[in-house]
Chains A and B, each alone.
Chain A
């Protein structure tokens, strides 16, 4: 590791100050406001929250539906990952499944709700196909479907990665030792993955619990914490102190969840060496898992099918003649193009500065001997813990009077803080695997530290940098919960525009701009995948 240079300290201080100003301070203000009332400091706000029947009901609903969604997502995610790793399913099918399952990640959650209404509602596409109403989508069922679609990709990716580090040789060994199917499954699959399974559950739970988009579009008569929070902050009688309390209450399960995740990590196995192993043939197993996986992914995607169909029809579901008028009128509205450009602008800046900050933080942490550098890990953990809505409200409380209010800067900063952890961990992982002597070598060859980072470290982690930027971009495009409190008329972005269109019930426009987000993200994703592939081929 190179000796500490002044420029490293400067960057370190800059990054820490950023987090101090835009993560710690806002949260501090949030806590302070939650204890503030007309008389001064007290816990009165907390007491009064529990006298509100709606709030109790909402908390209970949130816990119930999030837990149910997390449970289903974990099981489905596990089956999909198992199908991909532990069966001899047709290979191209595996890669199609792997790609298709992450498609929902390219869409804002607020779109899910509308897609569900127009797929599974009384007049929905799937309802029509089935010939009768399948179940009531407003309330628990709808939210459950929405949350499962939302969290399944994350749960799957987590389990998918974990499966990659499970040594399948042990399956063979276990069989050779005479274990029965169940025992073999328990010892070679379940036991090594138990930590990750728990992790997938907790992650799905937190995501569902803190999501705003799905209940905003589907909730209606079924109050959950997220919608209560929105109502208290932006309802007809806004009460910021009360909002602060609910935000803190939303933070508590998230904190507990992150703590639980850390604990669960210890259960994970680490195999010394991994070898690719042929799996024993088992036709029934392959067929069964193939069927389950295809059904799951198709089921998930079918909900979105309506989004691709409805905007092209005159008046779905009544008049099913083809028309371009919705698409044309949506694109002709100068309002929409403005909002779309705003979105691209925010997403690009988030990708650029977010990657810069996360990458710098990772370099300082794993490739220097800077004092106190592990503070960055703590920062990352806190940023990971804070739900988008909570961060948004904290910003609203702290920056409402400042010149940052209603600017693009506050949106970009909020996104950077909100999505910091994952790219930071990506960078840390990649940078720590690189030769530790490069900076010293560069220095001995006459380079400044910056020079070596630019000429050697960066090019050798280009693939990771691209992945980080794409993560920031896509998330900035789809996030609703983080910025719903921060957008103004002049800075409104596509995802928040959907919320506005919801007011008028303009489903066609909602679907058209959802498609716009979807294809923008798809292009970015494909471009990044292509760039990454080119790098690894070389």
Chain B
């Protein structure tokens, strides 16, 4: 698998505090990568740096052999779904979805747009106001709006945190199938280990601005590289599992 996005020695300081410290990693085409860490670890800052919204202090971003470090956000061709979706409440669902269409020659064709709408099962909701949509529907509208711009990399900021239970699982699957179906490299920020493990091809664990571990989910579960990964990820999952087992008694342990 070729590496399309390379991040080299990225550092970011703010008010004398180190937010990101010398981060380097590479992502392959069509991969789903999670940036996982506790709040304040710097994962959202890293996402914003990739997006081009936040400027880094040091380091380089290489995309397909070209240096993006000084390329402004708009010209990078990446797109994001924000945690709160940032849908435009003055427009209905459909107008939100096609918002970017008129600005961009590279954006999706009408057929493609129909394809996204059908794929995300948004057809019955197109004429609804944003305020009338459920959380999951909003998430799907936001996804569709982003996909219409044909982003080179899809960035998702905590895409599941505002959703509950069953909807969470269905959106999760949908994100996975989008990445597979449209061969879309996807970077997801999350603070939930379970989410990261079940959705991603690779996980980048960040703690206090540094990479704790970068690897496939299996690697992380079987070979946690340090105490933090062990504590933050593995222990948390153990406790959850234990809690459930306790409900049903010893024999399931």
Binding site for B on A (CB under 8 A): 3, 435, 437-438, 440-447, 451, 455-456, 459-460, 462, 538
Let me know if B99 and A438 touch, CB within 8 A.
Answer: no
Name the distance in Å between A340's Cβ and chain B's nearest Cβ. 36
Known A437-B82, A446-B107; contact A3-B100, beta-carbon cutoff 8 A: no
B167 interfacial by beta-carbon distance below 8 Å:
no
Let me know if B84 and A437 touch, CB within 8 A.
Answer: yes
8 example contacts (A-B, Cβ-Cβ < 8 A) are as follows A3-B72, A440-B86, A444-B149, A445-B104, A447-B99, A447-B103, A455-B88, A459-B90
Let me know if A460 and B89 touch, CB within 8 A.
Answer: yes
Please report the C-alpha to C-alpha distance between residue A441 and residue B74 in the assembled complex, in whole angstroms: 10
Let me know if B74 and A443 touch, CB within 8 A.
Answer: yes
**In-complex Cβ contact of A446 among B84, B89, B149 (8 A):** B149
Let me know if B149 and A438 touch, CB within 8 A.
Answer: no
Let me know if B53 and A441 touch, CB within 8 A.
Answer: no
B200 interfacial by beta-carbon distance below 8 Å:
no
Name the distance in Å between A99's Cβ and chain B's nearest Cβ. 29
Please report the C-alpha to C-alpha distance between residue A456 and residue B82 in the assembled complex, in whole angstroms: 16
Q: For B53, what are the chain A residues with a Cβ–Cβ distance below 8 Å? A: 3, 440
The chain B residue sitting closest to A436, CB to CB, is: B86
**In-complex Cβ contact of B90 among A3, A443, A445, A456 (8 A):** A456
Known A456-B90, A460-B88; contact A441-B107, beta-carbon cutoff 8 A: no
Please report the C-alpha to C-alpha distance between residue A3 and residue B48 in the assembled complex, in whole angstroms: 12
B80 interfacial by beta-carbon distance below 8 Å:
yes
**In-complex Cβ contact of A444 among B74, B89, B90, B129 (8 A):** B74
The chain B residue sitting closest to A456, CB to CB, is: B88
Please report the C-alpha to C-alpha distance between residue A456 and residue B89 in the assembled complex, in whole angstroms: 8
Please report the C-alpha to C-alpha distance between residue A446 and residue B73 in the assembled complex, in whole angstroms: 11
Please report the C-alpha to C-alpha distance between residue A440 and residue B157 in the assembled complex, in whole angstroms: 14
Let me know if B86 and A437 touch, CB within 8 A.
Answer: yes
Q: For B129, what are the chain A residues with a Cβ–Cβ distance below 8 Å? A: 538
Known A3-B53, A3-B72; contact A445-B149, beta-carbon cutoff 8 A: yes
Please report the C-alpha to C-alpha distance between residue A435 and residue B138 in the assembled complex, in whole angstroms: 14
- Provide the main secondary structure of the chain B interface: loop
Please report the C-alpha to C-alpha distance between residue A4 and residue B80 in the assembled complex, in whole angstroms: 19
Let me know if A441 and B82 touch, CB within 8 A.
Answer: yes
Q: For B100, what are the chain A residues with a Cβ–Cβ distance below 8 Å? A: 444-447
In the A-B complex, the 4 residue pairs with the closest CB atoms? A446-B103, A445-B100, A459-B90, A437-B86
Residues of B75-115 at the interface with A, using a CB-CB cut-off of 8 Å, are: 78-80, 82, 84, 86, 88-91, 99-100, 102-104, 107
Please report the C-alpha to C-alpha distance between residue A217 and residue B80 in the assembled complex, in whole angstroms: 63
Let me know if A435 and B107 touch, CB within 8 A.
Answer: no
B145 interfacial by beta-carbon distance below 8 Å:
yes
Let me know if B86 and A435 touch, CB within 8 A.
Answer: yes
Please report the C-alpha to C-alpha distance between residue A440 and residue B103 in the assembled complex, in whole angstroms: 15
Residues of B12-57 at the interface with A, using a CB-CB cut-off of 8 Å, are: 51, 53
- Provide the main secondary structure of the chain A interface: helix
Let me know if A3 and B82 touch, CB within 8 A.
Answer: no
Q: For A437, what are the chain B residues with a Cβ–Cβ distance below 8 Å? A: 82, 84, 86
Please report the C-alpha to C-alpha distance between residue A459 and residue B129 in the assembled complex, in whole angstroms: 14
Size of the chain B interface, CB-CB below 8 angstroms: 25
Q: For A459, what are the chain B residues with a Cβ–Cβ distance below 8 Å? A: 90
Please report the C-alpha to C-alpha distance between residue A455 and residue B89 in the assembled complex, in whole angstroms: 11
Name the distance in Å between B168's Cβ and chain A's nearest Cβ. 22
Let me know if B88 and A444 touch, CB within 8 A.
Answer: no
Please report the C-alpha to C-alpha distance between residue A444 and residue B88 in the assembled complex, in whole angstroms: 14
Let me know if A460 and B90 touch, CB within 8 A.
Answer: yes
Residues 125-151 of B, flagged 1 when their CB comes within 8 A of A and 0 if not, give 000010000000000000001100100
Q: For B82, what are the chain A residues with a Cβ–Cβ distance below 8 Å? A: 437, 440-441
Let me know if A438 and B86 touch, CB within 8 A.
Answer: yes
**In-complex Cβ contact of B86 among A441, A446, A455, A538 (8 A):** A441
Q: For A442, what are the chain B residues with a Cβ–Cβ distance below 8 Å? A: 99
The chain A residue sitting closest to B131, CB to CB, is: A538
The chain B residue sitting closest to A460, CB to CB, is: B90
Let me know if A438 and B88 touch, CB within 8 A.
Answer: yes
Please report the C-alpha to C-alpha distance between residue A456 and residue B88 in the assembled complex, in whole angstroms: 6
Q: For B90, what are the chain A residues with a Cβ–Cβ distance below 8 Å? A: 456, 459-460, 462
Let me know if A3 and B103 touch, CB within 8 A.
Answer: no
Q: For B78, what are the chain A residues with a Cβ–Cβ distance below 8 Å? A: 444
Please report the C-alpha to C-alpha distance between residue A442 and residue B145 in the assembled complex, in whole angstroms: 11
**In-complex Cβ contact of B73 among A435, A443, A460 (8 A):** A443
The chain A residue sitting closest to B107, CB to CB, is: A446
Please report the C-alpha to C-alpha distance between residue A435 and residue B89 in the assembled complex, in whole angstroms: 10
Name the distance in Å between B83's Cβ and chain A's nearest Cβ. 9
The chain A residue sitting closest to B72, CB to CB, is: A3
Name the distance in Å between A435's Cβ and chain B's nearest Cβ. 5
Name the distance in Å between A448's Cβ and chain B's nearest Cβ. 9
13 more A-B contacts (CB under 8 A) besides A437-B82, A446-B149, A462-B90? A437-B84, A437-B86, A440-B73, A441-B82, A444-B79, A445-B103, A445-B104, A445-B145, A445-B149, A446-B104, A455-B88, A460-B88, A538-B129
Let me know if A3 and B73 touch, CB within 8 A.
Answer: yes
Please report the C-alpha to C-alpha distance between residue A437 and residue B83 in the assembled complex, in whole angstroms: 10
Name the distance in Å between A339's Cβ and chain B's nearest Cβ. 40
Residues of B202-239 at the interface with A, using a CB-CB cut-off of 8 Å, are: none
Q: For A443, what are the chain B residues with a Cβ–Cβ distance below 8 Å? A: 73-74
Name the distance in Å between B94's Cβ and chain A's nearest Cβ. 14
Name the distance in Å between B87's Cβ and chain A's nearest Cβ. 8
Q: For A455, what are the chain B residues with a Cβ–Cβ distance below 8 Å? A: 88, 99
Most chain B beta-carbon contacts within 10 A, residue among A446, A459, A460 = A446
Name the distance in Å between B121's Cβ and chain A's nearest Cβ. 22
Name the distance in Å between B138's Cβ and chain A's nearest Cβ. 12
The chain B residue sitting closest to A435, CB to CB, is: B86
Q: For B89, what are the chain A residues with a Cβ–Cβ distance below 8 Å? A: 460
Most chain B beta-carbon contacts within 10 A, residue among A443, A444, A445 = A444
The chain A residue sitting closest to B55, CB to CB, is: A3
The chain B residue sitting closest to A439, CB to CB, is: B86
The chain B residue sitting closest to A459, CB to CB, is: B90
Q: For A3, what are the chain B residues with a Cβ–Cβ distance below 8 Å? A: 53, 72-73
Q: For A444, what are the chain B residues with a Cβ–Cβ distance below 8 Å? A: 51, 73-74, 78-80, 100, 146, 149
Q: For B149, what are the chain A residues with a Cβ–Cβ distance below 8 Å? A: 444-446
The chain B residue sitting closest to A1, CB to CB, is: B53
Q: For A441, what are the chain B residues with a Cβ–Cβ distance below 8 Å? A: 80, 82, 86
Q: For A445, what are the chain B residues with a Cβ–Cβ distance below 8 Å? A: 79, 99-100, 103-104, 145, 149
Please report the C-alpha to C-alpha distance between residue A445 and residue B144 in the assembled complex, in whole angstroms: 12
The chain B residue sitting closest to A441, CB to CB, is: B86
Most chain B beta-carbon contacts within 10 A, residue among A435, A438, A442, A445 = A445
Please report the C-alpha to C-alpha distance between residue A446 and residue B104 in the assembled complex, in whole angstroms: 6
Please report the C-alpha to C-alpha distance between residue A456 and residue B79 in the assembled complex, in whole angstroms: 18
Please report the C-alpha to C-alpha distance between residue A460 and residue B131 in the assembled complex, in whole angstroms: 13
Q: For A462, what are the chain B residues with a Cβ–Cβ distance below 8 Å? A: 90
The chain B residue sitting closest to A535, CB to CB, is: B90
Q: For B80, what are the chain A residues with a Cβ–Cβ distance below 8 Å? A: 440-441, 444
Q: For A538, what are the chain B residues with a Cβ–Cβ distance below 8 Å? A: 129
Residues 146-186 of B, flagged 1 when their CB comes within 8 A of A and 0 if not, give 10010000000000000000000000000000000000000
